[in-house]
Amino acid sequence: MLKIDNLPKKVRFNLRNKEIFPNTILSPMDGVTDAPFRRLCRVLSGDRMGLLVSEFVPTDGDAVFNPDGHKQLKFFPEERPFGIQIFGRFPDRMAYAAGKIAETFHPEFIEVNAGCPAPKVAGKGSGSGLLRDLPRLQEILHEVKKTLDAKTPEIPLTLKCRIGWDDESINVMETLKIAEGEGVEMLTVHGRTRLQGYNGLANWDWIGKVAAAAKIPVIGNGDVNSVECARERINTYGVSGVSIGRGAMHNPWIFGQIADAWEGREKHVITAQEALDVFPLYYKFKIEDGATEMNAMGRMKQLAARLCKGFCLDDKCVDRVSRPSLLGHDRDQHLGQERSDCPKTKDERGSALRLGSGTLSSTLCHPGAEGDRIQESDNVAMSVRQALLTSQSAAEMLDRVQELKEGIAREMVFEPECLVNLNGAKETELKFGDQFKGR
C-alpha cells in the first residue's frame, strides 16, 4: 500500500540538468566509503542512491598529479552518478588535478573538500583548514572552475564545507557567497565546526540559514540516521537533500529506506538474518576490488562493529524467551543466578550462538525477568557482535555468519534507529565539547 501523505517537501533536486532521486548523498569517508562499500549501499538501496562520492583524493603530495597513484579514483559504472572529491591547499595543484581527473574519469561532478577536520589535513591548511583562509578557498574554487570550464565544461564544480573553524568564527554564510560567486553548483554543509569534530550535535539552524539564502542546491549533513530524521531535516530546514555518512556505516540500507518512503512504500523491517547477508556480499566486492583476504576481513569487522549494535530481540521473541515455561526451568531457579551450563570460553560462547530460541535465554545467561528485557536484548546483540569480531580469518567469519543466521539471529531484528551517537564509541550517549581542541 502506497502512502503519499507523509512525503517531505522535496524528494529530488537538480545538479545542473541532472535530476537526482532520492535527494540523498553517501558522504565520503576516508577508509570507509571505497568502491566496495559504495557498491554494497547501492545494491541494498535497489539502485536508488542519489549521488555517490569518492573518498577524498589528495593533490598536494605530487609535484605533478598522477591519477595512477590514487586508488580512491577507482569506481564502477553502476556507481554513476558519481563525483570525485579532491583536497589540498595549493590552487594550481588543485586545478591541475581536477582537470586531469575530469578528462580521465569523466565523473558527474568534481567536489572541493573544505570540511575534513583531521589534524593531518586541516592542520596543514587544507580541508576545513581553508575556513581560516577564505581568500585561499576562493582562489582554489576560481582556478578549479576555470580549468573545468576549459577542459570539460559539462562537469560541474561542487563544494563541501563545515560551518566554521570554531564557535567564534562561524563563516558559512561567507563561504556560500564565495562559492556562488565562483560558479559552484551545489554546496554540502556539515553542521559542525572544525574544532567540534564529530562531538555533540550538528547545528542545523546554520544549515537552514544557508539553504534559505542560497541560489544553488544546499545539502545538509550531520546526524541523519533514519527516514524520519531525513524527512524532518528537509521539511524544517529547507535543504535540497541530505548527506549521510556515519549513519550509513551503522545502516547501509538507509538510502533504500528513504527511497521507499519517498516513493510512498511501506517500511520494510530488516531481520538480523537479512542484515547478516551483507557480509558475504561485502567480502565479494572487496575481493573483486583487489583486497587481500586479511584486508577484506578487517573491513567486514569494521562494518560488524557498528552494524551489530543495531540488532535487538524482536518483541515477540523477548516475550517468548522471558516465559519460564518455554525454558524448561522454574523461573525462581534461574533469575539472577549463573547457570552451570553457561558458556565460559569463546569456543563455548560461539557454540551457544548456534542455538535456537528454546535454549537462548538460559544458555547465554540472560535473566528472564520482564524488567531485564532491554538488557537481555543488548547482551544477545553483543554476543553476535563478539562472535564476528573474534574471528581469526575471513572464512571463519563467514562460517560464523551462517551459524548465526541458523541460530539466534532468527529471533532478532535490525533497528539502528535506537543509536543516538554515531561516533563509534558509546552509541547510546553523546559526547560534547571540541574533539580537536588544541590540535
List the catalytic residues. 116
185 burial via Cβ count (<10 Å: 0-12, 13-18, 19+): middle
Distance, CA of 6 to CA of 431 (rounded, Å): 33
Q: Which residues contact 180 (CB under 8 A, 6 or more apart)?
A: 214, 215, 216
Give the CB-side neighbour count of residue 167, counting CA atoms within 13 A: 9
CA pair distance 69, 57, nearest whole angstrom: 10
CB 439 within 8 A of CB 123: yes
Point out which residues pair with 51 in neighbouring strands.
Answer: 25
Three-state SS sequence of 325-374: HHCCCCHHHHCCCCCCCCCCCHHHHHHHCCCCHHHHHHHCCCCCCHHHHH
Give 309's Cβ-side CA count (13 Å radius). Answer: 21
* Segment (H or E) for 235: helix 227-237
Residue 298, burial from CB neighbour count under 10 angstroms (0-12, 13-18, 19+)? middle
Under DSSP, is residue 26 helix (H, G, I), strand (E, B) or coil?
strand
Amino acid at residue number 44: L
Distance CA 371, CA 217 (A): 48
Amino acid at 414: F
Q: Which cell numbers hold the place of 16?
A: 545542473
How far is the C-alpha of 136 from the C-alpha of 131, rounded, in Å? Answer: 9
